[in-house]
Amino acid sequence: MLSQYIEQAAALQKPGQQLAGAIHKWVLQGGKPVRRLADLLHGTWLGHPLHPVLTDVVVGAWTLGALFDLISLRSPSHRAKQAADTLTALGIVAALPTALSGVTDFSTIPQSAAGAGLAHALTVKASLGTFILSLWARKKGQRGQGLFWSALGLALISLGAYLGGHLVFGKRVGVNRSEPLSQPEAWTSALPLADLPEHQPKAVEIEDQPVLLYRDQQQVYAVSAICPHAKGPLAEGSFTGSEVQCPWHDSVFDLRGGHIVHGPSTYPLPCYEARLRNGQIEVRAASD
Ligand code: FES
């Protein structure tokens, strides 16, 4: 399969990892405004990644534009040509925020998917280039050339969409990697309080679920020990007050309710209820 071939192409894997790492580093060094912009582009406010929402606009506009091009070829109609040109331009305009959100997601892509992510990015950027050429030719009245560039662009964006689908459904990039917490229903002993010194996180297993325990100012937090973004080990992250930062791609969660402080995760961190009884920390799955 093409997607597997691309994944195995070492020529893309290493540069993909290096480029993603460099962009992520730049985002982190950019301070709060850049981090907020990255959150916006990841879709932390949306409840799932923003990028696939925007790609629908781009692919939809260019596909519909191709349909009007076909109609105008069969029966020369000024309105069909105008509709095709407008949709080509609309796709180009929508491609700009789409590309930005894609690059932002790519910056924190899991290492194993970096090669396929780079192939996806290059393919869709090439398609954007061909649609810009198409619009330019259309504006100059060279309709034949415009149709040629659009057809090439449509082939490239289709390949890009195929690779994007592989990233999501094959590599699980952008999907929620945490399990819903339904167990334990009853209060269950997790650890003696004396074994959890303040500010020293501990990962324990409760009913086969990895649970992260953390103590700050006499408050004990119990959350899933697995980052929803790509399963990073949160117990190895850094802790500030009631917040934990994932060691892999720096998502920040508030331990008080699991909500996202910073992406790339667009899914909150599942939380347990925790209490102290007879010197023991007890937890249970939080009721909605
Ligand atoms: S695994 Fe990517 S931010 Fe946690």
Q: Which of 214, 218, 210, 66 is nearest to 151 (CA)?
A: 66
**What's residue 273's pLDDT?**
93
Give the pLDDT band of residue 10 (cuts 50, 70, 90): low
**What's residue 9's pLDDT?**
65
Query: What is residue 280's three-state secondary structure?
Result: strand
Q: Give the single-character DSSP code of 258.
A: -
* CA–CA–CA angle 222, 225, 226 (5° rounding): 140
| Per-residue buried b or exposed e for 241-276, using 16+ beta carbons within 10 Å of the residue's own CB | ebbbbbebbbbbbbbeebebbbbbbbbbbbbbebee
Which mutation among 28, 246, 253, 260 tests ligand 1's pocket best, with the greatest number of atoms within 8 A of CB? 246
Structure tokens at 99: 């590309």
- Taking a C-beta distance cutoff of 8 angstroms, is the pair 157, 124 a contact? yes
Dihedrals phi, psi of 230, to nearest 5 degrees: -150, 30
Give the pLDDT band of residue 74 (cuts 50, 70, 90): confident
Q: What residues does ligand 1 touch, defined as CB less than 6 Å away?
A: 108, 227, 229-232, 246, 248-249, 251, 264-265
Give the pLDDT band of residue 5 (cuts 50, 70, 90): low
**What's residue 27's pLDDT?**
95
Which mutation among 248, 252, 260, 266 tests ligand 1's pocket best, with the greatest number of atoms within 8 A of CB? 248
Nearest CA to ligand 1 atom 2: 249
pLDDT digits (tens, 9 = 90+) for 159-181: 999 999 999 999 999 999 988 77
Which amino acid is located at 40 in the chain? Answer: L
Query: What is residue 172's three-state secondary structure?
Result: coil
Entry pTM: 0.90
Please report how the helices 114-139 and 143-165 are oriented relative to each other, as an axis angle in degrees rounded to 10.
160
What is the 273 CA–ligand 1 centroid distance (Å)?
23
Distance CA 49, CA 43 (A): 5
Do the strands 243-245 and 202-206 form a parallel or antiparallel pair, or are they unpaired? unpaired
Inform me whether the pLDDT recorded for 268 exceeds 90.
Answer: yes
pLDDT digits (tens, 9 = 90+) for 148-162: 999 999 999 999 999
What is the 4 CA–ligand 1 centroid distance (Å)?
24
**What's residue 218's pLDDT?**
82
Inform me whether the pLDDT recorded for 182 exceeds 80.
Answer: no
Return the percentage of the chain with pLDDT > 90, whole number: 84
For the chain, the average pLDDT equals 93
State mean pLDDT over 138-146: 94
State mean pLDDT over 61-71: 95
What is the 99 CA–ligand 1 centroid distance (Å)?
21
Q: Which of 288, 246, 263 is nearest to 48 (CA)?
A: 263
State mean pLDDT over 117-136: 96
Distance CA 3, CA 165 (A): 10
Q: Of ligand 1's atoms, which has the minimum distance to the CA of residue 247?
A: 4
**What's residue 8's pLDDT?**
66
Query: What is residue 180's three-state secondary structure?
Result: coil
- Taking a C-beta distance cutoff of 8 angstroms, is the pair 229, 269 a contact? no
Q: Of ligand 1's atoms, which has the minimum distance to the CA of residue 250?
A: 3
Q: Of ligand 1's atoms, which has the minimum distance to the CA of residue 110?
A: 2
Distance CA 131, CA 156 (A): 10
Distance CA 282, CA 278 (A): 10
Dihedrals phi, psi of 16, to nearest 5 degrees: -60, -45
**Contacts of residue 152, Cβ cutoff 8 Å, sequence gap at least 6:** 130
State mean pLDDT over 95-107: 97
Inform me whether the pLDDT recorded for 3 exceeds 70.
Answer: no
Q: Of ligand 1's atoms, which has the minimum distance to the CA of residue 227?
A: 4
pLDDT digits (tens, 9 = 90+) for 207-264: 889 999 999 988 999 999 999 999 999 999 999 989 999 999 999 999 999 999 999 9
Which mutation among 172, 236, 251 tests ligand 1's pocket best, with the greatest number of atoms within 8 A of CB? 251
**Contacts of residue 192, Cβ cutoff 8 Å, sequence gap at least 6:** 279, 280, 281
Which mutation among 227, 238, 253, 269 tests ligand 1's pocket best, with the greatest number of atoms within 8 A of CB? 227
Inform me whether the pLDDT recorded for 94 exceeds 90.
Answer: yes
